[in-house]
Amino acid sequence: MDTRKLILTACIAACLALSACDKAEDPAKTRADVAAAQADASKKVQEAQADATKKVADAQADLAKAQADASKDLAEARKDHSEEVADANKTLGGANADAIEKVGEERADTIRAKAKADYEVAKADADAAYKVAKEKCDAVTGEARDTCQNQAKADYDSAVRLADVRKDQLLKDADDVEKASGG
């Protein structure tokens, strides 16, 4: 929520700054601004991708640990209850159900982590593209600038909405996986 307020404030400030002067920026300055915006955008996208990769790797490691723990639990259940077949089968069934539930929960957590990480990357990419597009709009004046800025904002809003839809679908998929596993 604070990020949205910050972005909104930055957009309003940028609009006010741009409306104060309808003079085209020097082409060399525009190129320099675009290059700087692209470099900054590239850095932010790389950082978001690195963070996303780490989050997904952590979630996958948790999933692998849960699977190993589940296997260990099953092995212990088989060993402890081998003398009494009926009780062992009952215990094994419970351990199996627990293992399926644990793995399902971890799989759901992995999907959620990926959904959030993918959203952050898509959002960073949209922010970067929007920043570059705004800099490019500084090369024109008047109605052309307004049209350029409106298109840049529309493209940004569309990219963010698409990222939200994808994230929501993955989060729903995670809930379905968790429910299917008994969690």
Q: What is the mean pLDDT of each run of 10 residues along the chain (183 residues)?
A: 64 55 78 89 90 89 85 83 71 74 87 92 94 93 95 97 96 91 76
What is d(CA 67, CA 57) in angstroms, rounded to the nearest whole number?
A: 15
Looking at residue 75, its pLDDT comes to: 84
Every domain of the chain and the residues it spans: 33-180
Return the number of other C-beta atoms located less than 10 Å from residue 18's C-beta.
Answer: 15
**pTM of the prediction?**
0.61
Alpha helices in 81-141 (DSSP H): 85-137
What span, in angstroms and rounded, lies between the C-alpha atoms of 122 and 44? Answer: 11
